[in-house]
Structures are given as C-alpha cells and as structure tokens.
Amino acid sequence: MKPKFLNLSLPIALIASFALLGQNQAYAAAETSYSKLTAITVKARVDAFDNGIGEVCQTSDAFGEHRDTTSYSPAPIDYSGSNGDLWVYAESEYPYLKRYLYWDGVEWLTGEPDEEGSEEGKLHSWNLRAGDHGVMVREAQESSSGYVCTFSNLKRIERIGQEPISNYVGEIGDIYVKIDSKYQDARMYFAWNGVKWIASLKNPYTLASAVASRTKAGNYCIYGANKDFSTSYYSVPPKIYKGVKGDLWVITDKTYGDFKSMYFWTGKVWVVSTSKEAEPLQKLNDELQLKARASSKGEVCYSGSITSTQVFSTKVPANYKGKINDRWVVMDKKGAKSNIYYYWDGKKWKQE
C-alpha cells in the first residue's frame, strides 16, 4: 500500500482552520469543569428551542422507530411520524408546564376532555400509550446505544447501570446520564470535554440521597429544634413521633422518588398539607427554615453519611471537618438568584 502524503496545495486558510481545531481540542481536554462544559450544552439546547426544533429523542419497539419531540411549538397537525410518537409542548414563558401528546396515526391524543365527545375512550387510549411509551424508553435506556436525544449539534445519552463509554466519539458538551439500575431517581451526569467524560460533583450526593430515601431514617434536615423528613420507606408518617410543632414529613414514590404527599406535625398529630389545619404550620415551618439559613450554622441535611448545609451567607468555611462529597449550598434570601453549590474533596471546596 502506498503511503499517503499531505497535499501541500491545500489553501492556507484551511490549514489554519485545522490548527485552530487542534487548539480547541487541546483547550477542551484541559477543561475539567463540569459547569463550564454544560454551559455549552445549555446554549445548544436554548438555540434548538429558539429555532423551533427543540429536542428530539429516539425510541423503538417491535413495530419500529419512534420519535419524542420536546418543543416550544405546538404539535403539528400535518404530522408524518409513527403511531405512538410523543410530542411535549413546553410554552416558552412557562417551560415547566408541559403537555404530553401521543400520535395515534390520525391525530394527537391530549389526555384531556374533548368537546366533540368520546372523552373516556381517548383518555383511555392516551393512558395506554403513555404506559407503552415508558416501556419503550426503558428498553432504549437498557440497550447498548441507550436512549439518545439530540439538540442543535449535541446529544444526551441515557443508559441504565452503565458507565459512560471511554472511547466515545462526539461533540464537546455532549451529556451522558447514568441511571442507577436500582434507584431510578438517581441520575448521574457526565459532560464530554473532547477527550474524556467529566463527572458532575453532585453525583455522589444524588446516589446517597436516593439510597437514604428508601431507609427508615430517610433524608432529613435539621434547623434549630425542628426537622424535615423525606422518605419512601413509609406510606404515611409514623404515629409515634417525638418532635416539635412545625416539623415536616414528605412521602415519596419508592420506584421513581417522586413526591406523593406531605404532612405537618401539630405537636400531637400529623395533618396532611392540603388541610386547613396545615396552613399555619406551613407558615411556621417556612419561618423556622429561613431563620436557620440566616444563622452561621444554617440548615443541615443528611443523606446517609453525606451532609448538605444550606445558608444565606456567602462565606464558605475554610476549616471544614466533614466528609468527602459533603455539600455547602449558598442560597439567596430573596430567591432571585440561583443557588451556588460547593462540594468538599477532603482538602478544599470545589464549585460545581
């Protein structure tokens, strides 16, 4: 086989672009900050939504390929996708309020009452498709390629119980999500820097929190004499309880870790958060938390052996005597600014 030689007639500008590409790759390889890498990811996602395309994910089953689209645009009437495709409509002004629509081959099923009739039948069909879709996503997450979503030129890959692929070929800012095989709410994030995956500093805390929520102790926070609990170990709070007025108890789902119900302690009994008796207790609980976060000790939360301290003060303790992966959260009292997260590596605090 004859050796291949560089074509010396290549335009100087093209050669320069190759050199620039090399510089960019070298810079990326040196970048070990997860937050700086995900700034690229966030921009790509924002651009994708602003361009009207949004994020598109792939699923499959025995009947073929399916497409999931999340967009600021309403689901198109003249859609040409597969039966069972999902369209998530997130309004730009209220992106957290989402509508989930499933394509039945003719129209989009919304899961909402239809003025034209057959509401019960359409709702039943929507529920069936939602269930089928959940199975398809999990099968994709368990596959070798994973559940893959694209936005602009980047990807998000989700796989259950699998570490990110070391010999990955992709774009700087791609995201890998490892879903714990036992605790589905434990999602560990990694960002690609062009050479290797950079793990989020939050990952150990995320897993510890998911594990703790299934134990009798649960996740719990202490602020002054009060406590908050969050656990899926109980179906309702224990009747025999030694605490103080204003304590909070949250019940979560055992499989997905989702919120199910919330109760406040009157000093004698638990009352559900939706009751009238809970209103003053909710107010008291909020006031006590604010007071603790304004103190030097702060509100301290425990997830197994890992602690997370939540304070309003911007001063992070230099002489800290906690464990590796402990978290320090600087909060804004007015709630106008995002929380700042620091993680202890045994010697110093690292900001995510």
pLDDT digits 0-9 by tens, 3-12: 333 333 334 3
The answer to whether residue 320 sits within a structural domain is yes
CB of 298 closer than 8 Å to CB of 309? yes
Residues 99 and 167 in one domain: yes
Which residues contact residue 90 at a Cβ distance below 8 angstroms, ignoring those fewer than 6 apart? 70, 71, 72, 96, 97, 98
Mind listing the pLDDT tens digit for each residue in 223-276?
A: 999 999 999 999 999 999 999 999 999 999 998 899 999 999 999 999 999 999
Q: Lowest-pLDDT range, 102-106, 260-264, 265-269, 306-310?
A: 102-106
The percentage of residues in the chain with a pLDDT greater than 90, rounded to a whole number, is 76
pLDDT for the residue 114 = 54
* In the predicted structure, residue 124 carries a pLDDT above the cut 90: no
Domain boundary among 199, 221, 253: 199
Query: Does 40 reside within a domain?
Result: no
The residue assigned the tokens 């309403």 is 74
Interacting residues of 344 by C-beta distance below 8 A, sequence separation 6+: 320, 322, 323, 324, 325, 326, 327, 328, 350
Is residue 74 located within the same domain as residue 131? yes
Do 167 and 212 sit in the same domain of this protein?
no
Q: Are residues 211 and 173 in the same domain?
A: no
Range of the domain at 345: 207-351
Is 86:108 a contact under the CB 8 Å cutoff?
no
pLDDT given at position 119 = 58
Q: What is the pLDDT of residues 132-169, one digit of tens each?
A: 999 999 999 999 999 999 999 999 999 999 999 999 99
Using one digit for the tens of pLDDT, what is the confidence trace for 11-58? 434 333 333 344 344 444 557 899 999 999 999 999 999 999 999 999
Q: Evaluate whether residue 15 is within a structural domain.
A: no
Same domain for 111 and 169, yes or no, is yes
59 and 184 assigned to the same domain: yes
- Specify if 299 maps to a domain: yes
Question: For residue 317, what are the β-bridge partners?
Answer: none
Last residue of one domain, picked from the residues 170, 199, 228: 199
What's the pLDDT score for residue 29?
54
Q: Of 199, 215, 230, which closes a domain?
A: 199
pLDDT value of position 115: 46
Neighbours of 146 (CB within 10 A): 23
Strands 147-151 and 55-61: antiparallel
Tell me how far apart the alpha carbons of residues 215 and 231 are, in angstroms, rounded to a whole number: 7
159: phi then psi, degrees, rounded to nearest 5: -140, 145
121: pLDDT confidence band, cut at 50, 70 and 90?
low
Is the domain of 293 the same as that of 186? no
- Give the SS3 label for residue 87: strand
Tell me whether residue 213 is in a domain.
yes
For residues 304 and 172, state if they share a domain: no
CA dihedral 316, 317, 322, 325 (to 10 degrees): 20
Give me the pLDDT at residue 259, please.
Answer: 95
Residues 180 and 241 in one domain: no
Residues 310 and 328 in one domain: yes
Residue 19 lies in a domain: no
Q: How many domains does the chain have?
A: 2
Report yes or no on 115 lying in a domain.
yes
Domain co-membership, 61 together with 185: yes
Indicate if the pLDDT at residue 172 is higher than 60: yes
Q: Residue 16: inside a domain, yes or no?
A: no
- Taking CA atoms, 90 is separated from 72, 171, 288, in Å, by 5, 26, 35
- Backbone torsions φ then ψ of 275, nearest 5 degrees: -85, 160
In this structure, are 286 and 341 located in the same domain? Answer: yes
**CB-based contact 327:320 (threshold 8 Å):** no
In the three-class reduction of DSSP (H, G, I as helix; E, B as strand; rest coil), residue 49 is classed as helix
The DSSP annotation for 97-159 comes to SEEEEEE-SSSEE-SS--TTS-HHHHHHHHHHHHHHHHHHHHHHHHSSS-EEEEETTEEEEEE
Contact 57, 149 (CB under 8 A): yes
The answer to which of 28-32, 164-168, 195-199, 316-320 has the lowest mean pLDDT is 28-32
In whole numbers, what is the pLDDT of the chain averaged over residues? 88
Task: Summarize the confidence of residues 303-307 as an average pLDDT.
Answer: 96
Judging by DSSP bridges, how do beta strands 154-160 and 175-179 pair with one another? parallel
d(CA 139, CA 133): 10
The predicted pLDDT at position 148 comes to 97
